[in-house]
Amino acid sequence: MNPSLKGQAALVTGADSGIGKGVALALAGAGAKLVINYAHNHDAAEATVAEIKAAGGEAFAVQADVSHEDQVKAMFAQMYAQYGTIDILVNNAGLQKDSRFVDMTLDDWNTVISINLTGQFLCSREAAREFIRRGVVEDRSRAAGKIICMSSVHEVIPWGGHVNYAASKGGISMFMKSIAQELAPHKIRVVGIGPGAIQTPINKSAWDTPEALDKLLTLIPYNRIGKPDDIGKLATWLASDEADYITGTTIFMDGGMTLYPGFADNG
Ligand code: BGC
């Protein structure tokens, strides 16, 4: 049976493309009403909204840069004006600004940490305040609220050439666990998802030629690239009462990327 999120209000940051879009479509498919957050690409966000509506769901798009406190607050205000509250937050917005470490600019460091990590802080704080204010609504969920933090296999796999990104994901891991510990007595669940290589625009160069894909697959024992829909299904389950006893942990969904495949028959 598909888990039901009927009547629950969900905000997915960075839902105009990639994993965020896959998660938004899946949550809507399970009956949630969506806020589709985007930073820049208005048309893509409206396309996600249209896809949800065409399937009989409810959604609207809100522009906000998640690293700006005033914009985050304004986004939550819009959500409350429309839906009255929030039940599910998916902290998904994130980006890469890759370079060799010695060439990395402070700007590229700060941008990645601000959006990937500080953005999760700002959005989670707003959501947690509302979850605590409102408490559990029995006919919607056993929890007062659910926060899903999109992390990465790079919260545990070091990643040269991407140290700002890996540092942001390592930070998300400890951020997620610490707020999970603090918020659990309020019946708020906080969980992480650690995707491996998922076929999205962020890692296009790793899959868009047969040679690149072959090289990537040497890192994935299960021998296929992931799809946004894989993550969408996991997020839906984690947000549902089926997962009511899960909090403070990251579920890796990576085809085995975290299994140190280089050690198979080696070492
Ligand atoms: C990164 C992708 C990468 C994947 C596996 C993700 O978090 O955003 O670029 O392909 O990790 O290395």
Q: Is 197 in the pocket of ligand 1 (CB under 6 A)?
A: yes
Cα dist from 23 to 29, 69, 93, 115, 241, whole Å: 10, 24, 12, 19, 17
Distance 196 CA to ligand 1 centre (A): 6
Query: Could you tell me the residue range of the domain that residue 223 belongs to?
Result: 9-256
Q: How many structural domains compose the chain? A: 1
What's the predicted TM-score (pTM) here? 0.98
Distance 185 CA to ligand 1 centre (A): 34
Q: Is residue 3 part of a domain?
A: no
**For strand 250-253 and strand 188-195, is the pairing parallel, antiparallel, or unpaired?**
parallel
Q: Is residue 265 part of a domain?
A: no
Q: Is 231 in the pocket of ligand 1 (CB under 6 A)?
A: no
Distance 12 CA to ligand 1 centre (A): 19
Taking CA atoms only, the protein residue closest to ligand 1 atom 10 is: 197
- Give residue 67's identity as a one-letter amino acid code: S
| Tens of pLDDT, residues 23-64 | 999 999 999 999 999 999 999 999 999 999 999 999 999 999
Compute the distance between CA of residue 152 and CA of residue 190 in angstroms, rounded to an integer: 16
Q: Is residue 176 part of a domain?
A: yes
pLDDT at 61: 99
User: What percent of the chain lies above the pLDDT cut of 70?
Assistant: 99
Distance 152 CA to ligand 1 centre (A): 7
| Tens of pLDDT, residues 156-211 | 999 999 999 999 999 999 999 999 999 999 999 999 999 999 999 999 999 999 99
Instruction: Report the CATH number at residue 192.
Output: 3.40.50.720
- pLDDT surpassing 80 at residue 1: no
User: What percent of the chain lies above the pLDDT cut of 90?
Assistant: 99
Quick check: is 165 catalytic? yes
- pLDDT surpassing 90 at residue 225: yes
Taking CA atoms only, the protein residue closest to ligand 1 atom 12 is: 197
Q: Is 202 in the pocket of ligand 1 (CB under 6 A)?
A: yes
Report yes or no: 3 and 30 within 8 Å, Cβ to Cβ: yes
Taking CA atoms only, the protein residue closest to ligand 1 atom 3 is: 197
Q: Is residue 34 part of a domain?
A: yes
Q: Is residue 262 part of a domain?
A: no
- Beta bridge partners, 35, equal 11, 60
Of 240, 194, 191, 187, residue with least CA distance to 27:
240
**DSSP output for 69-119:** HHHHHHHHHHHHHHHSS-SEEEE---------GGG--HHHHHHHHIIIIIH
Catalytic: which of 38, 83, 165, 222? 165
First to last CA, the chain: 43
Taking CA atoms only, the protein residue closest to ligand 1 atom 5 is: 197
Q: Is residue 239 part of a domain?
A: yes
